[in-house]
Amino acid sequence: KKEAAQAEVNKDDLRSPICCILGHVDTGKTKLLDKIRQTNVQGGEAGGITQQIGATYFPVEVLKEKIAPIDPEEKQVFKTPGLLVIDTPGHESFTNLRTRGSSLCNIAVLVVDIMHGLEQQTLESIRLLRDKKTPFIVALNKIDRLYGWQATPNGGFRDSLAKQNKSTQNEFDTRLQATIVAFAEQGLNAVPYYNNKNFAKNVSLVPTSAHTGEGIPDMLQLLVQLTQERMAASLMYLSELECTVLEVKVIEGLGTTIDVILSNGVLREGDKIVLCGLNGPIVTNVRALLTPEPLKEMRVKGAYVHHKLVKAALGVKISAPGLEKAISGSRLLVCTDDDDEEELKDDVMSDLKDLQRWISTSGKGVCVQASTLGSLEALLEFLKQGKIPVSGIDIGPVFKSSVRRASTMLDKGHTEYACLLCFDVEIDKEAEKLAGEMGVHIFSKMTIYNLVDDYKAFYDNLMEARIKDAAPTAVWPCRLKTLAVFAKREPIILGCEILDGDLRIGTPLCVVKVHPETKKREVVSLGRVTSLEINHKPKDIVTRKEQGAGVAVRIECAVYEQSKTYGRHFEEKDEIYSMISRTSIDTLKEHFWEKVSTDQKKLIKALKPLFNIP
Ligand code: GDP
C-alpha cells in the first residue's frame, strides 16, 4: 500500500526541509534572515517567497535566483520544493521544534561573528545541536568588517575573497584559522565549505556578510545540497502528521491562538486536534488555519488568509476554542475517527510527564521554570551536566505557588536549593515580593548558560560562607607529646612534638586520664590552641614534617572553663589529643572531607574509642 502511495507521489507531495538559525546574540542572525528574504525578482509576492507564521518559505525558483551568482549555468539540481526557514532565531524555537528527543529542524545555521569567534551562546547552541543530532553549517558572519574589505554585493564568497588585497586576505586567513582552532577545542573538525570532502564528518564554514549579502549564495547552495543529501528521500514525502506548537498568542478578534510548524503531513479546517496543556490535555477543533496576507504595498496589519487545508512544511496560525492553557513546544496530534482519543491525550501529555524524570529522587534540589517544553528540557539537560539537582519543574510565568514550592527547601534546611531558576518567563510582582520575604532566591536570565552560572556562583558563595562558619567546629585530628613546659598555668605554653596529624590554631586539646582502680576514662579539656610557633615564627598550621625540633603551643581556656595546670591536671607522660566529637567529625565530613588525608582519617578512627564515639 505504501509503495502504491509512493508511486503516486508527484512534486506537490514533497515537503521542504526546515532550517533554524542559532548563535550568540549580535552575531547577525536576524540580519542574515532579513538578507535572505530580500529578492530582486520583480512583481508577485517578492518572487514567490511567502511569509508564513513564524517562518519564511523559499520556493526553488527563489533559491535558484539567489544561488545564481555562483551557479550561473543553473547546474544545481533541486530535489525538494523549497526551504522553510524558521523566523525566530535563537535556540528558543530550535529547542521547541522537537519530537521525543530528536529535532524537527532538519538543518541549522550556526552564526559566528568572524571578529569574535566562539562565544558563550555559540557553545550552548553547539551542545543543543549535538544533543538533537541536527546537522548544521556555520555562517562565519561579518566578513565585511575585515580591514579593507571591498564589497561585491550579493556575490559568491570565493570571487569576493579573490578581489581583496593581500592584507585583507591575510586577516581573513588568520581569523579563519583561529575559528578552526576554537572549534577543534569543542571536538569539532571545522573546514571551509569549499575544502570539505566529508560533510558527514566535518562542519562546513561559510563566510558571509549580512550587510553586503556576500557568501549568502554559498550558504543557500550548501543548505540545499546538504538537506538533499542528508535527508532520506522518504522524509521529504508527505506522510504522518508532525506538528509542533511554537508559540501561544492572544490575537485581537481571535482570542488565544497557537502558531505551529507543520513539519510533515496535512492539516484541515475542522480537524479535531489534541495537544499538551498546563492543566491537562486539550482537545479542540480547528476553527481556522491562517497565514499572513501576501506582502503588498498596503498590507493591512493583522489580516490573514484562511486555508481549508495546509501541507507541510509550513508555519500556520491555528484559531480554535480552548487554547488558553496550551504549552509552547507541545506536539499537536490530529484525532481521526479511527483514533483512540484517550490514547492521544496520554501521548501528548507524556511530553510533560517525561520531564519529571529529571526530578531528583533525593527530594532535594532547585525549582526550575521555563517558557516552553523545549526550553525547559534544554535547561534541565544543562543542570544535569552541572550536577545541580532539581526538585520541581513548571512551565509559564512565576506565581506565588512556585515560590512556595521552592520555599519547602528552607524547611528542610537546604537554603542552597531554595531557589527558582527561571528561563525566559515573566515573574509576577507579588511572587517576587513573597520570595524576598521568604528567602527564596529567584534567578532569571535570557540565556541558559548565564542562568546556570549565576546559580553556581550563588551556591559556591553560600558554601564558602558555610565553611567559614563551620571552621571553628571542625576539629582536625592530632596527637602530641610534651617536650618542654614554658608556662604551667593559664595560658599554658608547651613545647610539643607532633606524633600524628597536624596542629592548627583553634584546635581544642585534651588529655585522657584512666582511673587507676575503676579503669574509667576521663577526658580532661585543656583549652584551645591560640598560638603556634616554630623558632619564634608564628604559624596557623604546623605539620609533622615542618615541626623540626618541636613546636611552641599556647593553650587557653574559654572564660567559662576551669583552667588547668601542668603537674596537677596533666603531666609529661600524658599524650595530648585534639578533642574530637561526633559533631566535629560530621563537620569535617560535610565540609572538608576531600582535604582530610588517609592518615588523618586513620587517626580519627583510632581516637574515636577514647571519646566513646561509636
Ligand atoms: P542577532 O542578535 O544575532 O539577531 O544579531 P542582529 O542581526 O540583530 O545583528 C546585530 C548587529 O550586528 C546589528 O547592528 C547588525 O547591523 C550587525 N550586523 C549583522 N550582520 C552583520 C554583517 O554581516 N556585517 C556587519 N558589519 N554588521 C552586521
Q: What's the mean pLDDT in 271-290?
A: 94
Dihedral of alpha carbons 199, 203, 209, 210, sign: positive
Q: How far is the CA of 90 from the centre of ligand 1 (A)?
A: 14
Yes or no: say if 66 and 41 are a contact pair by the CB < 8 Å rule.
Answer: no
Binned at pLDDT 50, 70 and 90, residue 235 comes out as low
Binned at pLDDT 50, 70 and 90, residue 9 comes out as very low
570: DSSP letter: B
Q: Is 88 in the pocket of ligand 1 (CB under 6 A)?
A: no
Backbone angles phi, psi at 299, to 5 degrees: -80, 130
Atom of ligand 1 nearest to the CA of 24: 3
Yes or no: say if 443 and 455 are a contact pair by the CB < 8 Å rule.
Answer: yes
- Among 22, 26, 147, residue to substitute to test ligand 1 (most atoms within 8 Å of Cβ): 26
Q: Is 30 in the pocket of ligand 1 (CB under 6 A)?
A: yes
Yes or no: say if 526 and 593 are a contact pair by the CB < 8 Å rule.
Answer: no
pLDDT at 343 over 70: yes
CB atoms within 10 A of CB 293: 15
| Minimum CA distance residue for ligand 1 atom 24 | 142
pLDDT at 1 over 50: no
Atom of ligand 1 nearest to the CA of 31: 7
Residue whose cell numbers read 512534486:
11
List, for residues 366-387, the tens digit of each pLDDT value: 999 998 888 898 899 889 888 8
Q: Is 488 in the pocket of ligand 1 (CB under 6 A)?
A: no
R_g of the chain computed on alpha carbons = 34
Q: Is 447 in the pocket of ligand 1 (CB under 6 A)?
A: no
State the pLDDT at residue 8. 47
- Among 21, 29, 31, residue to substitute to test ligand 1 (most atoms within 8 Å of Cβ): 31
Q: What's the mean pLDDT in 92-120?
A: 87
Give the chain's largest Cα–Cα span: 113
Q: Nearest Cα to 95, choosing from 172, 167, 20?
A: 20
Q: How far is the C-alpha of 529 from the C-alpha of 510, rounded, in Å?
A: 11
Q: How far is the C-alpha of 300 from the C-alpha of 582, rounded, in Å?
A: 77
Q: How far is the C-alpha of 260 from the C-alpha of 59, rounded, in Å?
A: 20
Q: How far is the C-alpha of 155 from the C-alpha of 145, rounded, in Å?
A: 16
Q: Is 122 in the pocket of ligand 1 (CB under 6 A)?
A: no
Please report, as a single letter, which amino acid is at residue 262: L
List, for residues 23-46, the tens digit of each pLDDT value: 998 999 999 988 887 754 444 344
Q: How far is the CA of 184 from the centre of ligand 1 (A)?
A: 25
CA distances to 63, 168, 498, 507, 596 from 545, in Å: 76, 62, 9, 19, 16
Q: Is 207 in the pocket of ligand 1 (CB under 6 A)?
A: no
Q: Is 28 in the pocket of ligand 1 (CB under 6 A)?
A: yes
State the pLDDT at residue 16. 86
pLDDT at 96 over 90: no
Atom of ligand 1 nearest to the CA of 141: 23
Yes or no: say if 333 and 274 are a contact pair by the CB < 8 Å rule.
Answer: yes
Yes or no: say if 220 and 67 are a contact pair by the CB < 8 Å rule.
Answer: yes
- Rounded to two decimals, the pTM is 0.74
Q: Is 141 in the pocket of ligand 1 (CB under 6 A)?
A: yes
Is 214 in a helix, a strand, or coil? coil
Characterise 515 by phi-psi region: left (phi > 0), alpha (psi -120 to 50), beta (else): beta
CB atoms within 10 A of CB 352: 20
Q: Nearest Cα to 506, choosing from 535, 537, 482, 542?
A: 542
Q: Three cell numbers at 373?
A: 517544553
Among the residue ranges 84-98, 156-170, 510-524, the one predicted with the least confidence is 84-98
Q: Complex ipTM, two decimals?
A: 0.99
17: DSSP letter: -
Q: Is 115 in the pocket of ligand 1 (CB under 6 A)?
A: no
Among the residue ranges 37-46, 474-483, 485-494, 510-519, the one predicted with the least confidence is 37-46
State the pLDDT at residue 426. 92
Q: How far is the C-alpha of 224 from the C-alpha of 20, rounded, in Å?
A: 14
CA atoms in the 13 A half-sphere facing the CB of 34: 8
As separate numbers, helices (DSSP H) first and strands (DSSP E) second, the chain gives 15, 33
State the pLDDT at residue 301. 60
Q: Is 351 in the pocket of ligand 1 (CB under 6 A)?
A: no
